[in-house]
């Protein structure tokens, strides 16, 4: 499922062993001095107090599943949960049931925790990524529910970071102007990478939720998941909300598209 593909930060199976106090290293790894600051939300922007977005998911020309994302605020924290399920013929070929949860600071954007529960065919993995800003480190705990293997990984972090799920929606809080870009420091297990969000142009789109004027944005990076997973585009509504109306990933095995089907205040 593309949602997990876009958000997968897992290490290769060969690295599934307990690791502690891993230093910042490797291509694309940022130090505290090199990392850009996560930009604060633009003046007047507020994340939803309670909202549910439902997306229809297509693989090539075939219906492939649904993704439901729910926002809920709690004090100064914003929680986003995502549930992706395969449907129809695709589900018969390859069953997918993925759940994600991200929690971040509503004013600063700093992610505090990112959880994943993935069921994809015979693969079943649960993971929790916590960001301890006081200690300056990220902590990943992962368990393969099929083999029983576990991982514990720790890595230094340079400062306030977003994650691969929250980053898609945190971008809504930023100004978007065609031809310009902004950078998000994103936590990716064992490394911190800079994802550049470039506004490429304006397009009018029709989705099951209606017709939208949008700004097409392409995320790019020099390392990590965004660099290694093909091409991704996100179409944000060309208004104050910058609602993600459509998301598309072009993979070596085909193109998967998320189209907004409904927006509910619940």
pTM of the model: 0.83
Q: Is the model's pLDDT at 164 over the cut of 70? A: yes
How high is the mean pLDDT of the chain? 83
The tally of domains found in the chain comes to 1
Residue 190 covered by a domain: yes
Question: Is residue 111 domain-resident?
Answer: yes
**19 domain residue, yes or no:** no
pLDDT of 112-124, one tens digit each? 999 999 887 888 8
Burial (CB < 10 A; 0-12, 13-18, 19+), residue 77, is middle
- Would you call 205 exposed, middle or buried from its count of C-beta atoms within 10 A (0-12, 13-18, 19+)? middle
Kindly indicate the confidence band of residue 150, based on its pLDDT and cuts at 50, 70 and 90: very high
The mean pLDDT of 17-31, rounded to a whole number, is 37
Three-state DSSP class for residue 45: coil
Question: Above 50 in pLDDT, residue 208?
Answer: yes
Nearby residues of 264 by Cβ (< 8 Å), 6 or more positions away: 51, 52, 54
Residue 221 lies in a domain: yes
With respect to residue 12, please indicate whether it lies within any of the assigned structural domains. Answer: no
> Each residue of 49-60: pLDDT tens digit?
999 999 999 987
Is residue 102 a contact partner of residue 112, using CB atoms and an 8 Å limit?
Answer: no
Could you tell me if residue 81 is inside a domain?
yes
Q: What number is the average pLDDT over the span 67-90?
A: 88
Residue 213 within any structural domain of the chain: yes
Residue 99 in any domain: the answer is yes
- Structural domain containing residue 151: 2-7+25-264
Distances from the Cα of 89 to the Cα of 83, 94, 247, 250, angstroms: 19, 9, 22, 21
């Amino acid at each position: 499922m593309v949602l997990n593909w876009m958000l997968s930060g897992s290490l290769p199976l060969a690295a599934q062993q307990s690791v502690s106090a891993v230093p910042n290293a490797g291509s694309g790894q940022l130090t505290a001095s090199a990392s850009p600051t996560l930009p604060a939300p633009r003046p007047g922007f507020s994340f939803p107090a309670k909202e549910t977005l439902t997306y229809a998911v297509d693989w090539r020309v075939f219906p492939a599943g649904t993704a439901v994302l729910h926002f809920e605020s709690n004090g100064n924290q914003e929680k986003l949960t995502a549930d992706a399920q395969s449907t129809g013929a695709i589900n018969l070929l390859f069953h997918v049931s993925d759940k994600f949860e991200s929690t971040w600071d509503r004013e600063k954007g700093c992610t505090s925790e990112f959880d994943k529960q993935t069921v994809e065919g015979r693969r079943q993995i649960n993971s929790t990524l916590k960001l301890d800003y006081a200690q300056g480190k990220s902590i990943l705990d992962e368990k393969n529910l099929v083999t029983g293997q576990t991982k514990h990984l720790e890595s230094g972090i340079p400062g306030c970071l977003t994650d691969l799920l929250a980053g898609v929606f945190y971008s809504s809080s930023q100004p978007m102007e065609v031809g310009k870009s902004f950078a998000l420091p994103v936590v990716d297990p064992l490394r911190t990478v800079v994802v550049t969000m470039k506004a490429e142009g304006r397009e009018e789109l029709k989705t099951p939720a209606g017709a939208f004027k949008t700004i097409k944005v392409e995320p790019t990076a020099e390392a990590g998941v965004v660099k290694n997973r093909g091409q991704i585009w996100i179409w944000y509504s060309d208004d104050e909300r910058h609602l993600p109306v459509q998301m598309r990933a072009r993979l070596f095995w085909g193109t998967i598209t998320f189209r907004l089907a409904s927006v509910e205040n619940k």
